[in-house]
């Protein structure tokens, strides 16, 4: 008899696994059930459907050759059966059956030889009054997205509040503010946007950029209740203010849907999420699980973590398909690579950010570089800002974050580092990484190489850095700190600062510093700076060689400083 497979869940992992099973084992009888009517859509595309970049919701369900992935498509093209609006109620592992219930209440029993769980995730609920009001959404499904778009495209929304500054929250914020001109406010309980993903300095850059595009962002602020009239939302009350809102999005993260697995006695984490092996098998070897409902090993820390990312779901789905069909493939783990478009910028990262690395117990530091993505003499180019995260002593590279107006450029650098993270690279692997070079597309020494070089100079004690956010604080306390900034750029760049703050900001171009050492006081805290941190590093070498006590070098220079919105020439 041919292999009977039941797949629960029809968004990303389920269809991927089912299709793969049929390609490897064409005789297999595969049945997929999903509780929703709309299945197999690109969930990550929802913000672009709401914004109008993607005009029809069907496009999110279409293949690249414009066929809608519905029941009929899967039957005729992929040869498996799909039951939509059919909920999996329970698993009888002894009998090897799944009890399912259709929309009309009819229950039936599906026998399986192998079972695949792709039950996905559910938006985390906020236990606040008013969350049941009309126009309060969670963007959990395509159905919900359709209702949101009806509201915004119908001109019925003039102000919106988004609770949670994670990926979905910020992408929805851009969509509302950019395409529909809605007065948009994001409220985030953490002290920065994208906590756990972006480092503080990258978050500061993104935050500033959002505000420049008319998205109001309040961090360190908690939503306490949602107020409404006639059943419809009108206002949001936070710990600090009241905000008018015709529409509210609750986007405070997702939790794994592990109830079906848990009730069947499969091993799950106390904190949520199904535990699976590298072959994507649950504690019952005939039951596989993957995607948003499972925990995945982090390849940098070696610890289990939760990575609800469509890219991982697809990769895991293919591995499950191979294994269910009799093969043996393993999934190495996750890095948590991400990229997000926020108006004119893309922010991307992989591995551990500095706060996460420190929290995970690594003796880590990070450094910042800024450089153009293409040759600095080629006319078409954008600046790439990178922050590389490194373990002290070993020089092991733990992660990378980046920002650039050219998203493909920053993605390329992040993906290249991500590719080697599982091999436990050290700085020399990144410093010497060979990257395709021609002036229209890169530099002979790439910004990624430069990041590793800068970190290596710190590791070896050749460079003593001050980070952009630290510098902003130092500047605030410049009197108490007895601070002197030495601007190693030419006068044209230094002038606005040096003339405004002659006591604290002195211009000595890098080429002159050797002969002007006696102008530099030995009793002040010296910060050396230039546009990117390169010339000031050269100056630091000279000053240290001349016996100055620990002059520090501003990492990423004024280029980075400008991006975080700190402008000493304007601040009083």
Q: Which of residues 36-95 bind a second copy (CB under 8 A)?
A: 42, 44-45, 48, 53-54, 59-60, 62-65, 67, 73, 76-79
- When binding is defined by CB under 8 A, the residue of 423, 518, 570, 572 that contacts a second copy is 423
Smallest distance, a second copy to C-beta of residue 419, A: 4
Q: Residue 303 has which token pair?
A: 């610890």
- When binding is defined by CB under 8 A, the residue of 222, 275, 358, 416 that contacts a second copy is 416
State the helix-helix crossing angle for 71-78 and 13-24, rounded to 10 degrees: 20
Q: Does 535 bind a second copy (CB under 8 A)?
A: yes
Q: Residue 220 has which token pair?
A: 């360190």
CB-neighbour burial class of residue 311 (10 A; exposed 0-12, middle 13-18, buried 19+):
middle
Smallest distance, a second copy to C-beta of residue 346, A: 6
Smallest distance, a second copy to C-beta of residue 184, A: 19
- When binding is defined by CB under 8 A, the residue of 542, 548, 562, 565 that contacts a second copy is 542
Q: Report yes or no: 484 and 524 within 8 Å, Cβ to Cβ.
A: yes
Q: Does 343 bind a second copy (CB under 8 A)?
A: no
- When binding is defined by CB under 8 A, the residue of 220, 545, 549, 567 that contacts a second copy is 545
- When binding is defined by CB under 8 A, the residue of 435, 464, 469, 517 that contacts a second copy is 435
- When binding is defined by CB under 8 A, the residue of 14, 412, 533, 568 that contacts a second copy is 412
Shorter beta-carbon distance to a second copy: residue 326 or 502: 326
Report the sign of the C-alpha dihedral through residues 42, 46, 51, 52, in that order. Answer: positive
Tell me the window of 91-99, 112-120, 230-238, 332-340 that interacts with a second copy (CB under 8 A): 332-340
Q: Report yes or no: 470 and 365 within 8 Å, Cβ to Cβ.
A: no
- Chain positions 436 to 475 lying near a second copy, rule: CB under 8 A, are 436-442, 444-446, 449, 453, 462
Residue whose pair of structure tokens reads 């501003």 in the numeric block: 554
Q: Does 407 bind a second copy (CB under 8 A)?
A: yes
Residue whose pair of structure tokens reads 């935050």 in the numeric block: 207
Shorter beta-carbon distance to a second copy: residue 91 or 276: 276
Distance (Å, rounded) from C-alpha 350 to C-alpha 191? 21
Tell me the window of 81-89, 202-210, 385-393, 408-416 that interacts with a second copy (CB under 8 A): 408-416
Q: Does 399 bind a second copy (CB under 8 A)?
A: no
Say which residues have a Cβ less than 8 Å from residue 10's Cβ, sequence separation at least 6.
32, 33, 34, 36, 39, 40, 82, 84, 118
- When binding is defined by CB under 8 A, the residue of 180, 306, 331, 362 that contacts a second copy is 331
- Chain positions 171 to 190 lying near a second copy, rule: CB under 8 A, are 171
Q: Report yes or no: 5 and 30 within 8 Å, Cβ to Cβ.
A: yes
Smallest distance, a second copy to C-beta of residue 439, A: 5
- Chain positions 275 to 304 lying near a second copy, rule: CB under 8 A, are none
DSSP string, 96-108: TEEEEEETTS-EE
Q: Residue 556 has which token pair?
A: 């990423």
Q: Does 548 bind a second copy (CB under 8 A)?
A: no
Q: Residue 380 has which token pair?
A: 């078409």
Size of the site for a second copy (CB under 8 A): 107
Q: Where does 364-419 show beta strands of DSSP type E?
A: 364-372, 383-391, 397-404
- Chain positions 474 to 513 lying near a second copy, rule: CB under 8 A, are 489-490, 510-512
Q: Report yes or no: 388 and 397 within 8 Å, Cβ to Cβ.
A: yes
Q: Does 200 bind a second copy (CB under 8 A)?
A: no
- Chain positions 105 to 144 lying near a second copy, rule: CB under 8 A, are none
CA angle 26-28-32, nearest 5°?
115
Distance (Å, rounded) from C-alpha 266 to C-alpha 273? 10
Tell me the window of 134-142, 341-349, 352-360, 563-571 that interacts with a second copy (CB under 8 A): 341-349
Distance (Å, rounded) from C-alpha 524 to C-alpha 502? 14
Distance (Å, rounded) from C-alpha 16 to C-alpha 466? 47
- When binding is defined by CB under 8 A, the residue of 417, 498, 528, 564 that contacts a second copy is 417
Q: Does 520 bind a second copy (CB under 8 A)?
A: no
Shorter beta-carbon distance to a second copy: residue 251 or 319: 319
- When binding is defined by CB under 8 A, the residue of 3, 4, 24, 71 that contacts a second copy is 24
Smallest distance, a second copy to C-beta of residue 45, A: 5
Shorter beta-carbon distance to a second copy: residue 408 or 550: 408
First to last CA, the chain: 80
Q: Would you tell me how many other CB atoms lie within 10 Å of the CB of residue 565?
A: 14
Tell me the window of 111-119, 131-139, 226-234, 400-408 that interacts with a second copy (CB under 8 A): 400-408
Strands 483-487 and 525-529, by their bridges, are: parallel
Q: Residue 330 has which token pair?
A: 């393993």
Tell me the window of 80-88, 104-112, 282-290, 525-533 that interacts with a second copy (CB under 8 A): 525-533
Tell me the window of 117-125, 149-157, 203-211, 334-342 that interacts with a second copy (CB under 8 A): 334-342
Distance (Å, rounded) from C-alpha 30 to C-alpha 71? 13
Residue of 111, 14, 2 lying closest to 321 (CA atoms): 14
Q: Does 318 bind a second copy (CB under 8 A)?
A: yes
Q: Does 549 bind a second copy (CB under 8 A)?
A: no
Say which residues have a Cβ less than 8 Å from residue 61's Cβ, sequence separation at least 6.
38, 39, 40, 41, 42, 68, 69, 70, 142
Smallest distance, a second copy to C-beta of residue 180, A: 17
């Amino acid at each position: 008899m041919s292999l009977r497979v039941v797949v629960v869940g029809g968004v990303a992992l389920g269809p991927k696994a089912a299709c793969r099973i049929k390609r490897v084992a064409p005789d297999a009888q595969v049945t997929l059930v999903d509780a929703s009517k709309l299945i197999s859509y690109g969930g990550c595309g929802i913000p672009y459907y709401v914004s109008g970049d993607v005009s029809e919701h069907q496009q999110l369900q279409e293949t690249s050759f414009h066929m809608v992935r519905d029941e009929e498509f899967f039957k005729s093209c992929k040869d498996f059966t799909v039951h939509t609006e059919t909920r999996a109620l329970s698993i009888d592992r002894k009998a090897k059956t799944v009890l399912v219930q259709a929309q009309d209440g009819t229950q039936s029993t599906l026998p399986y030889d192998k079972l695949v769980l792709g039950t996905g995730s559910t938006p985390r609920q906020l236990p606040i009054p008013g969350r049941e009001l009309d126009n309060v959404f969670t963007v959990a499904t395509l159905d919900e997205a359709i209702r949101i778009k009806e509201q915004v495209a119908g001109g019925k929304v003039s102000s919106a509040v988004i609770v949670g500054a994670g990926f979905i929250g910020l992408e929805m914020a851009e969509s509302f503010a950019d395409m529909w001109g809605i007065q948009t406010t994001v409220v985030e309980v953490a002290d920065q946007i994208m906590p756990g993903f972006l480092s503080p300095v990258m978050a500061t850059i993104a935050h500033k950029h959002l505000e420049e595009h008319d998205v109001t962002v309040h961090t360190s602020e908690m939503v306490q209740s949602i107020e409404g009239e006639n059943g419809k939302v009108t206002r949001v009350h936070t710990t600090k203010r009241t905000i008018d809102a015709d529409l509210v999005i609750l986007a405070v993260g997702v939790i794994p849907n592990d109830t079906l697995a848990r009730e069947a006695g499969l091993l799950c984490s106390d904190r949520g999420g199904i535990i699976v092996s590298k072959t994507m098998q649950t504690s019952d070897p005939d039951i596989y699980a993957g995607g948003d409902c499972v925990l995945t090993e982090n390849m940098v820390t070696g610890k289990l973590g939760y990575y609800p990312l469509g890219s991982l779901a697809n990769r895991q789905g293919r591995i499950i398909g191979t294994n269910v069909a009799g093969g043996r493939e393993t999934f190495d783990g996750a890095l948590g690579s991400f990229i997000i478009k926020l108006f004119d910028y893309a922010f991307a990262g992989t591995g551990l950010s500095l706060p996460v690395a420190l929290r995970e117990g690594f003796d880590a530091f990070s450094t910042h570089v800024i450089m153009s993505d293409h040759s600095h003499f080629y006319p078409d180019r954008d600046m790439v800002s990178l922050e590389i995260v490194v373990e002290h002593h070993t020089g092991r590279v733990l992660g990378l974050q980046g920002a650039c107006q050219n998203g493909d450029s920053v993605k390329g650098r992040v993906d290249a580092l991500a590719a080697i993270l599982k091999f436990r690279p050290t700085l020399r692997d990144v410093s010497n990484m060979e990257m395709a070079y021609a002036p229209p597309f890169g530099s002979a020494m790439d910004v990624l190489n430069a990041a590793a070089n800068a970190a290596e100079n710190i590791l070896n004690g050749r460079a003593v850095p001050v980070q952009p956010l630290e510098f902003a604080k130092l500047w605030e306390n410049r009197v108490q700190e007895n601070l002197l900034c030495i601007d190693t750029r030419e006068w044209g760049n230094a002038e606005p600062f040096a003339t405004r703050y002659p006591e604290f900001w002195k211009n000595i171009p890098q080429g002159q510093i050797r002969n002007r050492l006696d102008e530099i006081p030995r009793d002040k805290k010296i910060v050396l700076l230039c546009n990117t941190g390169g010339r000031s590093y050269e100056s630091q070498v000279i000053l240290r060689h001349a016996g100055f006590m620990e002059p520090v070098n501003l990492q990423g220079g004024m280029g980075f400083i400008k991006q975080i919105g700190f402008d000493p020439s304007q601040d009083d």
